[in-house]
Amino acid sequence: MPRFAANLSMLFTEMDFLDRFAAAAEAGFSGVEYLFPYDYPAEEIKARLDAHNLTQVLFNLPAGDWANGDRGVACDPERVEEFRAGVDKAIAYAKVLGNTQINCLAGIAPKGADLGKLEMTFIENLRYAAKKLEAEGIRLIMEMINTRDIPRFFLNNTSQALEIRDKVGSTNLFLQYDIYHMQIMEGDLARTIENNLAVINHVQLADNPGRNEPGTGEINYRFLFEHLDRIGYQGWVGCEYKPATTTAAGLGWMKAHNAI
């Protein structure tokens, strides 16, 4: 059975962020992830991790003004310096938190933008980040996101991500495979994960439709969990879903799948 990490940006949201670490451990999770740590001192988060014997699994590079609609800046030619400053900030946090992988969100393509220029910017930014992170022993991953939930998100399917990875040319760039997003964009989940296992360094889950917990939608998670074991997936699975009711009420899937 894979190792599961609670996404604290989605789960236990009825309580303050720093209190969610204890709740995750009590629920049986051994790792945590979330969108961003930057609103809190790194040392304060590290204390919560240590107090509850949790592994810090993943967070994102700074992604612009999230509250006002930014979903990453990595493809924006006008924000390269902002992106690079964000890489340094993420490294500083990762070193304190013991975090060994950081996710890059490509961002939303501006209307009417030259897609070739956006791709070139994204490639250069990924190349820069991959090199900087590698020097610190941290892996860079990039995430494909569906264009139904986030229209015009620049990186939105596996084949595109693989092409960009080839163009970046770094051995320190991997893929994050979010099952929910990729069920919407491409399907064929098990085969795609297996065929690209060597470059998939993180998996996330939610059911579809609804983006709720496993068992609420169409995805056969029992099969997929067994499949991940069968093909030898060694990474974490982040639980990035919206509880259909409350987090506690929706955790029955973990017992049903022998995840705890």
Q: What is the pLDDT of residues 6-56, one digit of tens each?
A: 999 999 999 999 999 999 999 999 999 999 999 999 999 999 999 999 999
E-assigned strand segments in 121-168: 139-143
CB 88 within 8 A of CB 133: no
Is residue 240 part of the annotated active site? The answer reads yes
Extract the tokens encoding 204.
């996330």
Extract the tokens encoding 15.
């309580």
Confidence at residue 2, expressed as pLDDT on a 0 to 100 scale = 87
Of the residues 33, 119, 143, 213, which is catalytic? 143
Q: For 184-241, how does the pLDDT look when each residue is reduced to its tens digit (9 = 90+)?
A: 999 999 999 999 999 999 999 999 999 999 999 999 999 999 999 999 999 999 999 9
| CATH class as words, domain 3-256 | alpha beta
Rounded mean pLDDT, 126-130? 98
Of the residues 33, 119, 213, 240, which is catalytic? 240
Is residue 143 part of the annotated active site? The answer reads yes
Rounded mean pLDDT, 106-128? 97
Assign 258 a pLDDT band (cuts: 50, 70, 90): confident
pTM exceeds 0.85 for this model: yes
Question: Can you give the length of the chain in residues?
Answer: 260
Q: CA 10 to CA 240: how far, in whole Å?
A: 6
Q: Please, what is the average pLDDT of the chain?
A: 97
Give the count of beta carbons closer than 10 Å to the beta carbon of residue 97. 19
DSSP state of 108: B
Rounded mean pLDDT, 51-66? 98
Confidence at residue 256, expressed as pLDDT on a 0 to 100 scale = 84
Assign 255 a pLDDT band (cuts: 50, 70, 90): confident
Assign 260 a pLDDT band (cuts: 50, 70, 90): low
Report which secondary-structure segment, H or E, holds 6. strand 3-7
Residue 178 has pLDDT above 90, yes or no: yes
> The tokens 């099969």 sit on which residue?
223
CB 52 within 8 A of CB 24: yes
